[in-house]
Structure 1
Amino acid sequence: MIRFRLKELLAEKGFREDRRVTLDEVSKETGIHRTTLSKIANQRGYKTNTEILDKLCAYFDVPLEGVAEYLDEEEVKG
């Protein structure tokens, strides 16, 4: 299962910049619809495309593994 780290990235960027970073801001800066960002942040198992992953990597200035991580089924069941 792929787990997106969007909430963590928002918190980390906010901490670094000493301000609150919102999904609306990310949406405006990346062109990714806010609803899509909300689904990525909140829906377990949400599926997206490489264009969106590329935009998130660029916005947060992280490699792909900074945006998403693979968890095997045993980790998910935990």
Structure 2
Amino acid sequence: MIRFHLKKLIADKEFAEKRRVTIAEISEATGINRMTLSKLINHPGHSTVTDNLDKLCKYFDCPVEELITYVKE
């Protein structure tokens, strides 16, 4: 299963920028639907297209390895 680390990346960004980062803000900045972001955060194993991975990596300025990991079931 692929595990997303969006909660950690959001928390790290909030700490670094000393402000709250919302799903709506991420959605607006990336063009990814808010519901899709919510599912990636709250539903383990939710799938998405690689274009969204690219957008999230750009937004968080991170390599894909910080965004997702493979967890053997």
List runs of 5+ in structure 1 lacking aligned partners: 74-78
TM-score (norm. length: structure 1): 0.91
Q: Which residue of 2 aligns with 1:15?
A: 15
Cα separation, 1, equivalents of 2:66 and 2:55? 12
- Deviating above 6 A after TM superposition, structure 1's stretches of 4 or more consecutive aligned residues are none
CA RMSD, 1 decimal: 0.5
Larger CA Rg, structure 1 vs 2: 1
Secondary structure of 1:19's aligned partner: coil
- Letter aligned with residue 44 of structure 2: R
Superposed displacement of residue 43, structure 1? 0.5
Cα separation, 2, equivalents of 1:22 and 1:11? 10
Question: Which structure 2 residues correspond to residues 60-75 of structure 1 after superposition, within 5 A?
Answer: 60-73=60-73
TM-score (norm. length: structure 2): 0.97
Q: Which residue of 2 aligns with 1:37?
A: 37
Task: Determine what percentage of the aligned residue pairs are the same residue.
Answer: 56
List runs of 5+ in structure 2 lacking aligned partners: none
How many residues are matched? 73
Secondary structure of 1:3's aligned partner: strand
Superposed displacement of residue 56, structure 1? 0.1
